[in-house]
Structure 1
């Protein structure tokens, strides 16, 4: 979970720069105008970020800091297709909470924050039900996270 939080901090910068680029290229003057296009653009940017790093070395910047590597079930590097599948299925961390917010018509900052945090923690706890303690999107994609530390280059 610490790596998850660190990844969020790093992605804040990626999304800020991407959002600025989008608003500059589209001449977006108001945050709600073109909101769905911006969301789709950021979804693609996040997909490119994760698929690239997972399929080229198996680690994002945060995963390198925490010595975590993504591999397939046999310990081999993941393909771009498998990384894309994992990216799409990893939205299971958020989709139930976002659906609850939408169905409940909740709009306040405290409500959104508490429902999202509860959803993320709930999804993380689901790993305890898996025989190998894997997240369900990893089990479905045939991937797993492993502890990995680069060899000393001395």
Structure 2
């Protein structure tokens, strides 16, 4: 008998492998109600530390680069409308209405990001999150109020420097809008 024949005979005589048996399942945990699950998550986010000034400014620089591009796109649309529909031969100054539209466009970016995930692209980079003090996402009213107050804080500088002396670490526009900017833990 050849070697291949011996191997085939040995395999044919071999007993089949025993069926794989799994250990009995452990007792499954009770399903958690949606209310208690949201409280647990909210409680986790409520305990996060306030964002330091340097992280806030770094996120603002990142977002500023994106906002410059958004501003160029807005200006291009306005220029196209002026030339195509109003017959302007050259660019007209935007005026107050155009500036209000630019502010609205930039504010909508922030509000959309804050309401959707609590973070803009710059905030994601620096692991920052905007939330209410209890950890829940900001309301529409809070987001709009923050968009009104944050530029004033930036221009006056005092609004941002306030976080250096505030016991909670919040800036004036955080306090005025009832929101907090917190640092998220590092993901593992």
Same fold (TM over 0.5): yes
Which has the higher relative contact order, 1 or 2, with Cα contacts under 8 A spaced 6 or more apart? Answer: 2
State how 1:1-154 maps to structure 2 within 5 Å.
1-27=57-83, 29-32=90-93, 34-94=94-154, 97=155, 119-120=156-157, 122-148=158-184
Q: What secondary structure does 2:182 align onto?
A: strand
Q: Provide structure 2 residue ranges, at least 5 long, that are not aligned to the other structure.
A: 1-56
Structure 1 runs, 4 residues or longer, greater than 6 Å off: none
Judged with a 3 Å threshold, the aligned counterparts in structure 2 of structure 1 residues 42 and 9 are, in CA distance, closer, same or farther, namely same
Q: Provide structure 1 residue ranges, at least 5 long, that are not aligned to the other structure.
A: 98-118
Kept in 2, the 8 Å contact 1:54–1:78? The answer is yes
RMSD: 2.0
What is the distance in 1 between the residues matched to 2:171 and 2:109?
20
Q: What secondary structure does 2:181 align onto?
A: strand
Alignment length (residue pairs): 127
Q: Report deviation, 1:124.
A: 2.3
Rg larger for: 2
